[in-house]
Structure 1
Amino acid sequence: MNPSIPSEVRKRGISGTAYLVCRVQRNKHLRNCSVLKETPAGSGFGAAALAASPKFRIYPPEVDGKPSDLAWVIVPIEYHFQK
């Protein structure tokens, strides 16, 4: 459980999705991330995903056979809670 997710969301069993837009670095880390969208709006899922984004690793696309620092990606993060 990510502690930055409001406890009310967990208690009520609300599920949702956050979409981040980030730049992928050659070392598979993300930078310049921001929240593109979260559903339901105002749920806190976007902030929670943004806080967790330093832990994410994504393979960058290759240009001429070499990893590129030029790619932007949209990262969907789904949160599922049960009541």
Structure 2
Amino acid sequence: MKVVSFYKSMSPFQRVILALILGISTGIIIGEPTGNLEIIGNAYIRLLQMTVLPYVLVSIVGGYAHAVTFTHGIPRLGNRRFFQQ
């Protein structure tokens, strides 16, 4: 019970550092037997990578739409620059 109350009293930064230290030490101690989990880890990384392109695309389109909506002189320059080959 003291461990839980100690953990709850820690700041988020301290929790992250503790988790980092525990993760590194667990990886060093256990090491090779966790090789079977590589498939799950790779799948997780690929899923995270799949989300990057939509975020970037929405950010670019949203920024362009914001520029067109809330500025008057930039859209003409933006159209020339954005659609230029």
Shared fold by TM > 0.5? no
TM range, smaller chain: under 0.3
Q: Give the structure with the higher percent strand.
A: 1
Task: Identify the structure with the greater helix proportion.
Answer: 2
Relative contact order, higher structure (CA 8 A, sep 6+): 1
TM-score, structure 1 normalization: 0.21
| Bigger Rg, structure 1 or 2 | 2
TM-score (norm 2): 0.21
